[in-house]
Amino acid sequence: MENPLTLEPLFRLGPVPVTEPVAVTWAILVLAAAGCHLATRRLRLAPGRLQTVLELFVTALDSQIRDTMQRDPGRFRTLIGSIFLYVLAANWSSLVPGIEPPTARLETDAALALIVFAATVWHGIAALGPGGYLATFAEPSWVMIPLNLVEQVTRTFSLIVRLFGNVMSGVFVIGILLSLAGLLVPIPLMALDLLTGAVQAYIFAVLATVFIGAAMGEHPPASQTAKEPRP
């Protein structure tokens, strides 16, 4: 029997092995590009139904970011919104028969967590400066420096493991039930998987927001919050 935790390349581009998560992500990229292009090519001041849904999503995303970070959401909208949409699309890709969600693989989750980690460091330094950012590791006391450093690593790993464990477990359970019970039995669990996938996408995006906001400090400059939203 094939080990479900091993990752075999589908094909190779020269020396680069292309695995299933990469191929599925490419498909998601293509669908996202095409879908977003079609959906936003004729935006109007008097919105239609689809435009209203898109604006509602962006407005809710901005509101979530503003409430969590107490900052202008324009700088973080693309990062947080893209992470949420990608994790959601990747989780729900399991509905397509024969497709394993990319987030059920550690590599994908690690890539997302690394991006969040890099964004945390980047925005922390941008907001506080290199010295100020490093000084946050000595809060509330220099004794906490080792623990804060470990925290940076552990919370990144927690992002990876949380997403990986939830999605992978769902895939495993459905696969086991399919092999044991038949076609229709896993459907309730697949529906539960949809909910789990949406919740995990939301949790991943909210945690990324919290981490970045924490790295930028508790009290943002007044001029930064007073800025108009920008794309």
Partner 1 sequence: MTFDWWTLGLQTVNVLVLFWILSHFLFRPVSEIIAKRQAAAMDELGRARADRARAEAALAEARARDDDVAQQRAALLSEAQEGAERARQHLLEEARQEAAGLRAGAEAEARRLRREAEAAMQDAAADLAVEISQRLLARLPGPGASAGFIDGLAKAVAELPEQTRQGLGAAGPVAIRAACALGPEETRALADRLAAVLGREVALSVSVDPALIAGLELDAPHAVVRNHFRADLDRIRQELGAHG
Which residues contact partner 1 by CB under 8 A? 3, 5-7, 16-19, 21-22, 25-26, 28-29, 32-33, 36-37, 39-40, 43-45, 47, 51, 54-55, 58-59, 62, 74, 77-79, 81-83, 85-86, 102, 105-108, 110-112, 114-115, 228-231
Closest CB 189 distance from partner 1, rounded Å: 23
Q: Which residues pair with 43 in a beta bridge?
A: none
How many beta carbons lie within 10 A of that of residue 10, not counting itself? 11
Q: For 9, phi and psi rounded to 5 degrees?
A: -70, 140
Residue 36 or 96 having the CB closest to partner 1: 36
Closest CB 192 distance from partner 1, rounded Å: 25
Closest CB 184 distance from partner 1, rounded Å: 31
Closest CB 133 distance from partner 1, rounded Å: 22
How many beta carbons lie within 10 A of that of residue 4, not counting itself? 12
Residue recorded with tokens 């927690």: 158
Residue 71 or 105 having the CB closest to partner 1: 105
Residue 42 or 219 having the CB closest to partner 1: 42
How many beta carbons lie within 10 A of that of residue 19, not counting itself? 17
Q: Is 72 helix (H, G, I), strand (E, B) or coil?
A: coil
Distance CA 81, CA 36 (A): 13
Residue 5 or 95 having the CB closest to partner 1: 5
Residue 55 or 151 having the CB closest to partner 1: 55
Closest CB 107 distance from partner 1, rounded Å: 4
Distance CA 11, CA 193 (A): 29
- End-to-end Cα separation, the chain, in angstroms: 50
Distance CA 132, CA 140 (A): 13
Residue 37 or 219 having the CB closest to partner 1: 37
Closest CB 39 distance from partner 1, rounded Å: 8
